[in-house]
Amino acid sequence: MALCLKQVFAKDKTFRPRKRFEPGTQRFELYKKAQASLKSGLDLRSVVRLPPGENIDDWIAVHVVDFFNRINLIYGTMAERCSETSCPVMAGGPRYEYRWQDERQYRRPAKLSAPRYMALLMDWIEGLINDEDVFPTRVGVPFPKNFQQVCTKILTRLFRVFVHVYIHHFDSILSMGAEAHVNTCYKHFYYFIQEFSLVDQRELEPLREMTERICH
């Protein structure tokens, strides 16, 4: 896995800079707390629970940014194997097809290749998490009233990355020796969205059997 990540980082345009938390801020402290819990070997179901006395929006914000970084990295490791030719449609097997819609170029749901969908998705999420009106970083600035709805949309779309990667690129995961890493990230993500009911259960259906096997 380490070799693969080095190879990926060597490609300047594959990754956008990681979104980081400013040292000294409350969110940075929450991020450190979450990371420490992960590294301590605690059960992932326990790790995702809101710590006593903490603000739920701060806790969700920290995790959304972290999952964005992690899932962007996972997809990036196999981006060369996900091409316009190999994946002409953003899908999760023959039963599920995901269409892209945004407020700029694609105002109606559009059928796109998986790599095009992924590029638009990562740009869209990056734009949101760097928008001070959506993810405020200044002390005393409140989150918008629709913050959790925005996070639901982000997490729903990030879940689709897992769907595509597991169903269409699992051989790549295995060949890179990354199965344990990807599974752990998925379980962390799954327990988090379940803890706070952030993704509609119907969206989880494509990976239901796998989830029952590794998360229960």
Determine the Cα–Cα distance for residues 179 and 81; give it in Å rounded to an integer.
16
- Can you tell me which residue has the tokens 């972290």? 66
Q: Which residues contact 191 (CB under 8 A, 6 or more apart)?
A: 44, 45, 47, 48, 215
164 appears as a binding residue in the annotation: yes
Residues sharing a CB contact under 8 Å with residue 199, sequence separation 6 or more, in sequence order? 152, 155, 156, 159, 193
In angstroms, rounded to a whole number, what is the distance separating the alpha carbons of residues 126 and 122? 6
Residue 80 backbone class (left: φ over 0; alpha: ψ -120 to 50; beta: rest): alpha
Distance CA 125, CA 100 (A): 13
216 in a known ligand binding site: no
> Which structure tokens are listed for 95?
């039963």
169 is in an annotated binding site: yes
Known binding-site positions for Zn(2+): 82, 87, 164, 169
Binding residues: 82, 87, 164, 169
